[in-house]
Amino acid sequence: MASPPPASAPRHAPTHTLRALATLTPPSNSRTWQTAPHPSSPIVATACSDRSVRVYSLTSFTLLHSITGGHKRSVRSVSWKPHVRGQDVLATGSFDASAGIWRRAQHRLEREITSSTGVDDDDEDDDDEYQFACILDGHESEIKSLSWSPSGQYLATCSRDKSVWIWEELEEDNFETVAVLQEHDGDVKCVAWHPEEDLLVSASYDDTVRLYREDADDWVQVSCITGHKKTVWWAEFEGSGMAKSDFRGQRDALSEEQERHIEELDKSGPRLATCSDDISIRIWRRKAREGGHGAKDGMPSIIRSAAVDEDWYEEAVLPQAHERPVYSVSWSRRTGMIVSAGSDGKIIVYKERWKASSSAQTESDGTPAGPDADAPLTEWVVVAELFSAHDVFEINHVVWAERADKGKRDGEEVVLSTGDDGEVRVWVLDEQGLEEEKEKEKEKEGAAP
């Protein structure tokens, strides 16, 4: 429907550079799968195929803890429980079909971070380490991904056994299975939560993406998204309230059409990004449930019989910069930019912007032209492209995190990439020649009628 035209040259004009900041040391000797930044502390956990989880500092870029002895096979996925006071709680999902919960008191951690010189005498006793708390058994085969809901109330896990499980922590270390969702026809590769609602997404080997929410005490599928032609490797929601910080942040001189776009996007709520073995990355958007704006853009309003069903449609396909399967995609919570990585070893950063044509249109006569009324108002462009980010190795995961080392600028983020080489690399996104940009802007303005 609203698919943008295929990638063309102007959508591949890098304006930023990914600069290597650090490699977390020491790296693992074998494949690393995924790295999860802690929701509030400057630490990350990395899932390793050597059955361990490595916890690194983003301040010193060094290894703080190695969590071993729990899983019998590769640790595939890690997720920090949000909103926990006084301790760090980590969930680990493994190819051994089990999930583990680990805890560690937080006061020690703070001390470590403040004394970042690294020459403190803190290997005194065991309670400094992550303690195994409990095991979540139930899946029949490898756990591929797990994720805590934003409130920390639920933990979702998914597996090659085609199911998605939702666990609720009733009291500390007492987990109850609240749902076993068996909608997929193949391995479930990834689960992720909506940032504002208890809405869960899962992506699968069956090429579909499915969404679930609770309806009258039962978790049910509320949407099935088709569009990818091969395995969907990753799904992630956009951050909450991004209208303030992404392309929508600059509100001056917008056309009526653009204002309406922002308003409607706000009603849809955070969007969803998915990436696939088919090499594409797609953005999905929820059809706003109520509101009279549906009629304005010619869309018939839909009256639902099943009140919980949601209609998610493809809003955009990102310009294709990858040559092999894309394993991971992540939205920046600060800028709304998207970063992706995969088998080709590249890291690509994309940014959404208003299409030049629509702003030119407003400048000329202010009324939207008829034939273009259905064309998307925004487009995604590649702003940075990095080859061989992990030498010749594949990149399994990529994610944004708050920058925490001494050189950080205010509110700056880093990109963390996790590779088959066992390394987690830290990248800074630098804007290329700001001066050059200004020149270009001037030229553009000069060229406009």
Partner 1 sequence: MDVDKQNANPTILSLSDLPSRRRGSNLNRRNDGSTGLFDGLIPQYSHLNDPFEQSLSSSDSDDDSVEDIDEQEVFDLISSISDPEHPLSLGSLAVVNLPDIHIQPPSSPHSSISTVLVEVTPTITHCSLATVIGLGVRVRLEQALPPRFRVDVRIKKGTHSTDEAVNKQLGDKERVAAALENGTLMGVLRKMLSTCE
Q: Which residues bind partner 1 (CB under 8 A)?
A: 31, 49, 73-74, 76, 95, 141-142, 144, 160, 187, 189, 205, 230-231, 277-278, 320, 323-325, 327, 343-346, 387-388, 391-394, 420
- Orientation angle between helical segments 256-268 and 356-364, nearest 10 degrees: 140
Q: How far is CA 429 from the centre of its chain?
A: 17
| 99-105 and 272-276 strand pairing | unpaired
Nearer to partner 1, 4 or 269 (CB): 4
The CB-of-171 to partner 1 minimum distance in angstroms stands at 33
Sequence-ordered list of residues with C-beta below 8 angstroms from that of 243, at least 6 positions apart, any chain: 249, 262, 265, 266
Structure tokens at 97: 């079909």
Residue 338 main-chain phi, psi, to 5 deg: -120, 140
Q: What's the N-to-C CA distance of the chain in angstroms?
A: 32
For residue 304, which amino acid is it?
R
The CB-of-258 to partner 1 minimum distance in angstroms stands at 32
Nearer to partner 1, 246 or 420 (CB): 420
Q: Where are the beta strands (DSSP E) in 149-198?
A: 154-159, 164-171, 174-181, 188-193
Nearer to partner 1, 141 or 153 (CB): 141
The CB-of-34 to partner 1 minimum distance in angstroms stands at 11
Nearer to partner 1, 147 or 223 (CB): 147
For 244, the 3-state DSSP assignment is helix
Nearer to partner 1, 7 or 375 (CB): 7
Sequence-ordered list of residues with C-beta below 8 angstroms from that of 29, at least 6 positions apart, any chain: 50, 422
- Taking alpha carbons only, the member of 91, 232, 114, 231 closest to residue 167 is 91
Structure tokens at 438: 């200004």
Say which residue the tokens 């900041």 belong to. 21
The CB-of-45 to partner 1 minimum distance in angstroms stands at 19
The CB-of-298 to partner 1 minimum distance in angstroms stands at 33
Nearer to partner 1, 119 or 392 (CB): 392
The CB-of-233 to partner 1 minimum distance in angstroms stands at 8
The CB-of-241 to partner 1 minimum distance in angstroms stands at 33
Element (DSSP H or E) covering residue 447:
helix 434-447
Nearer to partner 1, 307 or 392 (CB): 392
Nearer to partner 1, 205 or 237 (CB): 205
Q: How far apart are CA 19 and CA 449, in angstroms?
A: 38
The CB-of-395 to partner 1 minimum distance in angstroms stands at 11
Q: Are the C-beta atoms of 181 and 199 separated by less than 8 Å?
A: no
